[in-house]
């Protein structure tokens, strides 16, 4: 290759690689932070139970560090593309003119990571972050699946915090059994 053409070629290749990598990297997901009117132990129990009730498979349960995560999978497929598209529209950040093209998506995974920490006596801080990863496959299953990172719009995080707060309120309103 002619040395005078090498520099423009390398610059062009760098731009193509940068553009391609930016398409695969989703923007950072928002987190939802709030303070719960509950002890760390009560907030921990409500968090883990809420993850399980919402269909998440709990993993990475590290109570001493105040961190727990859960993952759930949703199939998209041809039979429920509308349902998959509706939920994705509800939970991800999209460009208004682009929308969501679910053709070829076989499933998507949602991972919620929750961090808890004591704030004050009887109060616990909670921080929730959702990561969403879709998988695009060619019809017929030929070729390698392609990961498609998506950015949460904060709805899942807010709904989860609400779920934990409701569980804490419900457990606080239950009468304690009399001592025997």
Cα 47 from Cα 69, distance rounded (Å): 10
Query: In percent, how much of the chain has pLDDT > 70?
Result: 69
Tokens of 68: 């727990």
pLDDT band with cut points at 50, 70 and 90 for residue 149: very high
Which run of H or of E encompasses 162? Answer: helix 155-173
Q: Kindly calculate the radius of gyration of the chain based on its CA atoms and give it in whole angstroms.
A: 22
Place of tokens 């498609």: 148
- The angle subtended at Cα 156 by Cα 151 and Cα 49, nearest 5°, is 135
Between residues 70 and 106, which one has the greater pLDDT? 70
What was the pLDDT predicted at 100?
64
Kindly list the domain boundaries of the chain, sorted by start residue. Answer: 26-172
pLDDT higher than 80, residue 3: no
- What does the alpha-carbon distance between residue 82 and residue 76 come to, in Å, rounded to a whole number? 8
Q: What are 177's two structure tokens?
A: 């059994």
Band of residue 160 on the pLDDT scale cut at 50, 70, 90: very high
Asked if the model's pLDDT at residue 38 lies above 90, the reply is: yes
Beta strands in the chain (DSSP E): 31-36, 57-62, 67-75, 105-120, 123-136, 146-150
Count other Cβ atoms within 10 Å, centred on residue 156.
23
CATH class for domain 26-172? alpha beta
Span 54-73, average pLDDT: 95
- Residues 143-166 have a mean pLDDT of 92
Confidence of residue 121 (pLDDT cuts 50, 70, 90): confident
> Taking the C-alpha atoms of 149, 112, 56 and 90 in order, what is their torsion angle to the nearest 10 degrees?
-60
- According to the model, what pLDDT value does residue 180 have? 53
Q: pLDDT value at position 98?
A: 62
CB atoms within 10 A of CB 26: 16
Instruction: State yes or no: pLDDT of 23 exceeds 50.
Output: no
pLDDT of residue 14: 41
């Amino acid at each position: 290759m002619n040395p005078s053409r090498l520099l423009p070629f390398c610059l062009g290749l760098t731009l193509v690689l940068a553009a391609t990598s930016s398409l695969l990297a989703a923007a950072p997901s928002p987190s939802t932070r709030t303070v719960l009117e509950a002890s760390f132990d009560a907030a921990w129990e409500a968090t883990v139970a809420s993850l399980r009730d919402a269909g998440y498979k709990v993993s990475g349960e590290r109570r001493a560090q105040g961190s727990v995560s859960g993952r759930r999978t949703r199939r998209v497929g041809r039979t429920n593309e509308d349902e998959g598209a509706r939920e994705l529209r509800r939970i991800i950040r999209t460009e208004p003119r682009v929308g969501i093209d679910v053709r070829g998506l076989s499933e998507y995974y949602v991972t919620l990571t929750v961090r808890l920490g004591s704030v004050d006596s009887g109060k616990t801080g909670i921080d929730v972050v959702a990561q969403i990863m879709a998988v695009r496959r060619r019809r017929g299953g030929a070729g390698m699946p392609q990961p498609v990172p998506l950015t949460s719009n904060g709805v899942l995080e807010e709904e989860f915090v609400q779920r934990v707060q409701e569980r804490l309120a419900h457990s606080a309103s239950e009468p304690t059994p009399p001592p025997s």
